[in-house]
């Protein structure tokens, strides 16, 4: 249970950091507040994966997706490491 919670928190944190990275490099239109765009941060990785399959991914979105994959991978690794430690 603790490992699953760690993975969910890792997903939220990784998607928040990747979304902030994307919005810093590629801000939305001037009349669209950044805080509104940042409010939907858990949906950005799903949108990026969809754009990969469509072939419409921009280089900035690709960097943000790679940042998300790196952070999420490290979160999963740490959760599995903690789970193994508890199992012993």
- Residue 86 pLDDT grade (very low, low, confident, very high; cuts 50, 70, 90): confident
pLDDT for the residue numbered 87: 81
3-state helix, strand, coil in the chain (%, to 5): 85, 0, 15
pLDDT higher than 80, residue 1: no
Q: Long-range contacts: 62-69, Cβ < 8 Å, 24+? A: 63/21, 63/25, 64/18, 64/19, 64/21, 64/22, 64/25, 65/18, 67/14, 67/17, 67/18, 67/21, 68/14, 68/15, 68/17, 68/18, 68/44
| Spatial distance between the Cα atoms of 88 and 70, rounded to a whole number of angstroms | 27
């Amino acid at each position: 249970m603790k490992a699953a919670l760690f993975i969910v928190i890792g997903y939220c944190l990784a998607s928040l950091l990747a979304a902030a990275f994307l919005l810093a490099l590629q801000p939305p239109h001037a009349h669209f507040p950044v805080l509104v765009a940042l409010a939907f941060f858990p949906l950005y990785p799903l949108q990026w994966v969809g754009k990969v399959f469509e072939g419409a991914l921009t280089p900035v979105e690709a960097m943000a997706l790679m940042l998300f994959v790196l952070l999420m991978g490290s979160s999963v690794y740490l959760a599995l490491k903690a789970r193994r430690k508890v199992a012993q």
